[in-house]
């Protein structure tokens, strides 16, 4: 696999229901280093299923998905998580609620391979400095249980955990949809700033067309498990929100 290719769908079909209906149909897609791909489409169009196949939750029924040069069918979710990070719309799943902010950071940092240390001074400073990039007030919340954070704070902590060791591919599945407008915009701004700083290849599922226009360098519209339009940086600038709405929904 070429170094600049992060993942590919190769004639990929996904069937989950007993009636044999395909959720994803013969999908071909190449994800390259530095891409910020936005998936648009109505409910049931297959957007989130693409995310779940990339992170190993679903295995393709036919065809192949290659992630970091390896066939995803041969890897466990744990294998894939070493180089793929996922953040979903479920704010309660972004962090470990009964663990403190510090403990969540430590878990992400060590990938759960070490017990939480009794003496934390050096790590406190390390995590404070790191978290300040995401939300300055995290510096004063290190001993707060994550379940006491607001929805936006949980998503930002979840994002920080995903990026503690920057993944080759970041998957965002409507990660701002459960937040109020102000917090959603704040989380989105911070998310994209850090993605650009670290040059992290990203696929984002959203219904927010303006976010797709503002942040994606490639917009894919999906209907009934197929990609029906593919808009790249050079041509999406000439399209209005109404144009994109008509093509993708």
> What pLDDT is attached to residue 3?
58
Helix or strand or coil: residue 214?
A: helix
> What pLDDT is attached to residue 2?
55
In the predicted structure, residue 171 carries a pLDDT above the cut 60: yes
CATH number of 5-95+169-248: 3.40.50.300
How confident is the model over 102-153, as pLDDT tens digits? 999 999 999 878 888 776 778 989 999 999 999 999 999 999 999 999 999 9
Task: Give phi and psi for 133, each to the nearest 5.
Answer: -65, -35
- For the chain, percent of residues with pLDDT exceeding 90: 79
Task: Give phi and psi for 72, each to the nearest 5.
Answer: -60, -25
Measure the CA–CA gap between 108 and 103, rounded to whole angstroms. 9
Residue-by-residue DSSP string for 68-92: TTEEGGGS-HHHHHTTEEEEES-GG
Instruction: Report how far apart, in Å, the C-alpha atoms of 27 and of each of 112, 142, 180 are.
Output: 35, 44, 34
pLDDT range class, residue 1, cuts 50, 70, 90: very low
Q: Where do the domains of the chain lie?
A: 5-95+169-248, 96-148
pTM for the model stands at 0.93
> What pLDDT is attached to residue 236?
78
- DSSP letter at 100 equals B
- DSSP letter at 111 equals T
**Mean per-residue pLDDT for 166-175?**
96
How confident is the model over 41-100, as pLDDT tens digits? 999 999 999 999 999 999 999 999 999 999 999 999 999 999 999 999 998 889 999 999
Mean pLDDT of the chain: 92
């Amino acid at each position: 696999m070429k170094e600049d290719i992060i993942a590919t769908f190769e004639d990929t079909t996904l069937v989950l229901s007993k009636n044999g209906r395909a959720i994803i149909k013969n999908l071909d897609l190449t994800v390259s280093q530095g891409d910020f791909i936005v998936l648009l489409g109505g409910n049931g169009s297959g957007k989130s299923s693409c995310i779940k196949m990339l992170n190993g939750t679903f295995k393709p029924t036919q065809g192949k998905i290659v992630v970091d040069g390896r066939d995803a069918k041969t890897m466990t979710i744990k294998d894939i998580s070493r180089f793929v990070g996922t953040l979903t719309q479920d704010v309660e799943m972004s962090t470990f609620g009964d663990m403190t902010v510090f403990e969540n950071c430590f878990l992400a940092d060590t990938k759960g391979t070490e017990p939480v240390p009794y003496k934390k001074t050096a790590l406190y400073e390390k995590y404070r400095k790191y978290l300040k990039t995401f939300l300055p007030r995290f510096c004063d919340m290190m001993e707060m249980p994550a379940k006491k954070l607001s929805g936006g704070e949980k998503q930002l902590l979840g994002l920080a955990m995903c990026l503690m060791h920057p993944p080759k591919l970041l998957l965002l599945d409507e990660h701002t949809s459960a937040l109020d407008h102000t917090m959603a915009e704040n989380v989105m701004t911070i998310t994209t700033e850090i993605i650009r700083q670290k040059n992290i290849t990203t696929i984002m599922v959203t219904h927010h067309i303006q976010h797709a226009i503002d942040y994606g360098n490639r917009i894919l519209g999906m209907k009934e498990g197929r990609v029906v339009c593919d808009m790249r940086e050079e041509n999406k600038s000439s399209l209005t929100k109404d144009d994109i709405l008509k093509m993708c929904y």
